[in-house]
Structure 1
């Protein structure tokens, strides 16, 4: 396993760059963010002078407007949650980016790519730059890392023998593992997971989108450990 951290953040990308990474149709008319800072500049090392001067068009919440990239990552590190997210990457699935974007929104500790190191970042909308990224060669390597860290490996897939996510007591320290759209979790990954959980469905479709399933699973962890506050 190797970790790539936040992948060379010596500088930040300004204006519409982050929006454009996730949406090639973005124009000046629908650019997100704010313009140049009005009035005297604020004091503090976390402010980015270039953003204050030219505006902040990044895909960040308002509380982080005009902040340096590394300052945002450092602040997030003080309040990330105890769950990790892992995604198998065998076919350059677009949904991986969606999973990582949700991992950022839900405050995951880190995300892990299993298989091919290069993955389809388009759907992440640049949110991966604010997360910690790790790579694992295969399921066995991820499992070895999780055991060393004391993390439960939990697969999310609607497989025979899987148990409902809704009634499973999600541990605080865990890795939620997702397969690819279509094939789902690989056989080796299923064998490494302590449990495989499925999301109950009530319609006619056999499965739901991998990105949607990941969002449901992560939010289930948030409800259990952030809002319910069970011991």
Structure 2
């Protein structure tokens, strides 16, 4: 439309249809308007998840959800972009999915009633639990070497990590700030932390670093 949003994705497949179980017959016939990179056009959701699972990174993301934080959806979307192993929701099972932009369908999302149960699950798999908060004793992320197998835990927007979360963490780190505000947005902090892991551990020169 001349005055509307540009159309996303691609239309029906032109010419003979490709062969293979990864292709979705409905998408081939009707077009694929999903928010996915071009590599995954016309693929079934199951095929996309299976391909992502072959390449997932070693970091996890966890978010405390005691007040139905609106940042959770955005954090899930960023976790999908950086190919996190899993996203863990701690506290209330229900969370606002609007900000995820449907990326939760391609991202493994698990629920834990408490931070203690999250920590037990992670430690059983050899994953370090690090909290992100501006707390006394927190190490600056700019000088910290993140473990390869790590879970980055974020608290609620405003109050930050709960007391239970602070006790369960193997350590905490902070994002250095220089202005007058006390803290930055939780989803922005999550993006910075995840990208720090990517810069330290991801294969940035590999063939799978961008699949557009």
TM-score when normalising by structure 1: 0.85
Residue 191 of structure 1 corresponds to 167
CA distance in 1, matches of 2:193, 2:7: 31
The counterpart of 2:185, out of the listed 209, 213, 226, is 209
Counterpart among 85, 95, 101 of residue 77 in structure 2: 101
Q: What is the CA-CA distance between 1:32 and the residue it aligns to? A: 1.5
Give 1:29 deviation, angstroms: 4.3
How many pairs does the alignment contain? 203
* Number of the residue aligned with 1:112: 88
- SS at the partner of 2:202? helix
State the alpha-carbon separation in 2 of the partners of residues 203 and 28 from structure 1. 39
Normalising by the residue count of structure 2, what TM-score does the alignment of the two structures yield? 0.92
Separation of aligned partners in 2, 1:35 and 1:116: 39
Large movers: runs of 4+ above 6 Å: none
- RMSD over aligned CA atoms reads 1.6
Q: Specify every segment of 5 or more residues in structure 2 that has no aligned partner in the other structure, as ranges.
A: 206-212
Matched, 1:221 2:194: no
Q: Which secondary structure state, in structure 1, belongs to the residue aligned with residue 172 of structure 2?
A: strand
Deviations 1:203-227 (A, max 9, x none): 2211110000000000000000015
Match among 38, 48, 54 for residue 62 of structure 1: 38
- Aligned-pair CA distance for 1:28: 7.5
Is 2:131 aligned against 1:149?
no
Q: Which residue of 2 aligns with 1:32?
A: 8
Q: Describe the superposition over 1:34-68 as per-residue Cα deviations: whole angstroms up to 9, x where unpaired.
A: 11111111111101010000011111111101100
Structure 2 residue 10 is the aligned partner of structure 1 residue 50: no
Three-state SS of the structure 1 residue aligned to 2:18 is coil
| Partner residue, 1:165 | 141
Runs of 5+ unmatched residues, structure 1: 1-26
